[in-house]
Amino acid sequence: MTDYDAVVIGAGNAGLTAAATLARGGVRTLLVERHNVPGGCATSFRRGRFEFEVALHQLSGIGSPDQAFMLRRLFEGLGIADKLEFVEEHDLYRVVVPGRLDVTIPADWQGAVDALEAAFPGNRSRIEDFFALVKLITFCQVAVMRNAPTDQVDPRYFHEALRPVAEVLDDFFDDDGLKMALSVYWTYLGQPPSVLPFQDFALTLFAYLEFKPWHLRGGSQAMSSALLGSFLDAGGEVRFNTGVEAILTDEGRVTGVRLDTGEQISAPEVVSNASLPTTYAMLGEVPPEVAADLGTRRVGVSGFVMHMGLDASAVDLGFTTSTTFINRDTDDDRTHASWRTFDPVRGVAVSCYDVEPIGFAPSGACHVTLMTLQYADAWDDVAPQDYAATKFAYAETLLDLMETTYPGVRAVIEEVDVATPLTMTRYLGHPGGAIYGYDQDATEGWLFRNSERKPGVEGLSLAGSWAGMGGFQPTLEAGSRVGRRLLRRFVNA
């Protein structure tokens, strides 16, 4: 008899939902996590009298109780929906190009049309037509992912789905400001509109407009802790501060893992929430077809994040939306290229967690995060003795851009913590500190790569951003999906 039926490596989003799904299905499951808390990116930390959200800006996939979307149903199935307090954000975002553009878009189809028409008069019908295409492509993409016959899919899907977002926008609009106002969520996907497949963008925009952006009281750590609780309540076992040194195999089939303590754990199934390079390094001998595939992939973008505890309220500082995107201009390609440099930041996402409070800031204060994306190779030539100076000098450029819209923040900073791609690498264990896994362009999409379904080793399952789409909703769903697939395997064994 084996020690466990399954071992799950990593307690990030996908690892937690996979482990909870398996344990609640009666599978004897061990969850192994090298950090001392569950969650990966879905965690929080304290500085002084503030708690800081690590990574979650807006959670898609929730929906209202009477219009539940995928994640709410997933949480209900794992028995934790009633343990979480969801905080609804009533606006998608405010998007600003100082001196040129400043528009707030409500989280509502008609409200978004009205706000964009007010900011860009004469475009109402074109905005409505664009939103109609967003809905069409989303419905078709879901149908295709569910293996619907091609003759039941609208032909427009096959023409539009893989076109770059920028090309589709050009078909509808002439104003670069309007195009930016509609497409600024591209930073949530890590690729500029000139590259990003329209179907991926459409799905993201649809999810937030139709089912609203949400957060969680207590931040993403509350979600991670609840998922861990679901796993433990179902009889699962977890080991923190423990790494997996090797995935053991015999004649091409998984037989268990060896921990960094030297202990060997036997199990016929292993689910890895670690990056693909890390996972296959644990195997030692990589199947040739997997090695060939990995050799063609590109490690994705990381993040540069500035967490601030401010001794002033959100109202005092002029925050009216939870999320603000501030850009120097409308040149998204130039912004994307700057992610490999230390040039003054060209775009920043500002999250104020106290417009719709999640409970992390004391009364009269607020918790604000500034984030830009950045590739880790920007740091390759920074000497260790120059690291701190380089990081804080770059952080000043984020503050500079933010204060074009929210002046006076510097004067009320009480606590600050700055994380770089090297920080992400250290805490997540991901190559390049990549937060979305591989670069999320068309060649990395689910139509052309399916590492989740083709891990190359019997008994090994892959779950998370490195085997599919990045982001909170996709990775939470991926873990659940992999867990359900394994449950069917156990039932049929």
- 47 three-state secondary structure: strand
What is d(CA 207, CA 345) in angstroms, rounded to the nearest whole number?
28
Q: Check whether residue 240 and residue 187 sit in a common domain.
A: no
Examine residue 49 and state whether it is found in any structural domain, yes or no: no
Query: What per-residue confidence (pLDDT) applies to 169?
Result: 98
User: Which among 145, 234, 226, 157 is positioned nearest to 481, based on CA atoms?
Assistant: 145
What is d(CA 86, CA 61) in angstroms, rounded to the nearest whole number?
12
Examine residue 62 and state whether it is found in any structural domain, yes or no: no
What is d(CA 193, CA 233) in angstroms, rounded to the nearest whole number?
44
Q: Check whether residue 387 and residue 484 sit in a common domain.
A: no
Examine residue 98 and state whether it is found in any structural domain, yes or no: no
Contact status, residue 229 vs residue 83, Cβ threshold 8 Å: yes
Q: Check whether residue 197 and residue 259 sit in a common domain.
A: no
Examine residue 96 and state whether it is found in any structural domain, yes or no: no
Examine residue 95 and state whether it is found in any structural domain, yes or no: no
Query: What per-residue confidence (pLDDT) applies to 493?
Result: 64
**What count of residues does the chain have?**
493
The pLDDT profile of the chain, 493 residues, written as one tens digit per residue, is 689 999 999 999 999 999 999 999 999 999 999 999 999 999 999 999 999 999 999 999 999 998 899 999 999 999 999 999 999 999 999 999 999 999 999 999 999 999 999 999 999 999 999 999 999 999 999 888 788 788 788 999 999 999 999 999 999 999 999 999 999 999 999 999 999 999 999 999 999 999 999 999 999 999 999 999 999 999 999 999 999 999 999 998 999 999 999 999 999 999 999 999 999 999 988 889 899 888 899 999 999 999 999 999 999 999 999 999 999 999 999 999 999 999 999 999 999 999 999 999 999 999 999 999 999 999 999 999 999 999 999 999 999 999 999 999 999 999 999 999 999 999 999 999 999 999 988 887 767 777 777 788 999 999 999 998 899 999 999 999 999 999 998 877 6
CATH, residue 394: 3.90.660
Query: What per-residue confidence (pLDDT) applies to 1?
Result: 67
Residue 318 in tokens: 């002029």
Tokens 């037989």 sit on residue: 255
Query: What per-residue confidence (pLDDT) applies to 149?
Result: 84
Q: Check whether residue 316 and residue 342 sit in a common domain.
A: yes
State the DSSP H helix or E strand holding residue 477, giving kind and residue range, or none if neither: helix 472-492
The CA angle 14-19-24, to the nearest 5 degrees, is 130
What is d(CA 427, CA 214) in angstroms, rounded to the nearest whole number?
25
What is d(CA 231, CA 222) in angstroms, rounded to the nearest whole number?
14
Tokens 């804080």 sit on residue: 392
Q: Check whether residue 307 and residue 163 sit in a common domain.
A: no
Examine residue 30 and state whether it is found in any structural domain, yes or no: yes
Q: Check whether residue 243 and residue 153 sit in a common domain.
A: no
What is d(CA 327, CA 95) in angstroms, rounded to the nearest whole number?
8
Query: What per-residue confidence (pLDDT) applies to 179?
Result: 98
What is d(CA 15, CA 227) in angstroms, rounded to the nearest whole number?
10
State the DSSP H helix or E strand holding residue 257, giving kind and residue range, or none if neither: strand 253-259
Q: How many of the other CB atoms lie within 10 Å of CB of 384?
A: 6
Examine residue 446 and state whether it is found in any structural domain, yes or no: yes
CA atoms within 13 A on the CB side of 229: 13
User: Which among 39, 37, 427, 480 is positioned nearest to 239, based on CA atoms?
Assistant: 37
- Tell me the H-state helices in 383-431: 387-402, 421-428
Residues in a beta bridge with 303: 373
Examine residue 408 and state whether it is found in any structural domain, yes or no: yes
CATH, residue 276: 3.50.50.60
Q: Check whether residue 260 and residue 309 sit in a common domain.
A: no
Contact status, residue 438 vs residue 297, Cβ threshold 8 Å: yes
Q: Check whether residue 182 and residue 257 sit in a common domain.
A: no
Q: Check whether residue 79 and residue 222 sit in a common domain.
A: yes
Domain limits for position 180: 104-211
Integer CA distances (angstroms), 74 to 208, 268, 446, 474, 480, in order: 17, 26, 21, 12, 8
Query: What per-residue confidence (pLDDT) applies to 430?
Result: 94
- b/e per residue 213-249 (b: at least 16 CB within 10 A): bbbbebbbbbbbbbbbbbbeebebebbeebbbeebbb
Q: Give the domain-ending residue among 372, 405, 428.
A: 428
Q: How many of the other CB atoms lie within 10 Å of CB of 284?
A: 10
Q: Give the domain-ending residue among 183, 211, 239.
A: 211
Contact status, residue 215 vs residue 322, Cβ threshold 8 Å: yes
Q: Check whether residue 344 and residue 419 sit in a common domain.
A: yes
Residues in a beta bridge with 45: 52
Q: Check whether residue 154 and residue 204 sit in a common domain.
A: yes
How many domains would you assign to the chain?
3
What is d(CA 426, CA 279) in angstroms, rounded to the nearest whole number?
16
What is d(CA 150, CA 50) in angstroms, rounded to the nearest whole number?
52
Q: Check whether residue 266 and residue 167 sit in a common domain.
A: no
Question: CB burial class (10 A; 0-12, 13-18, 19+) of residue 176?
Answer: middle
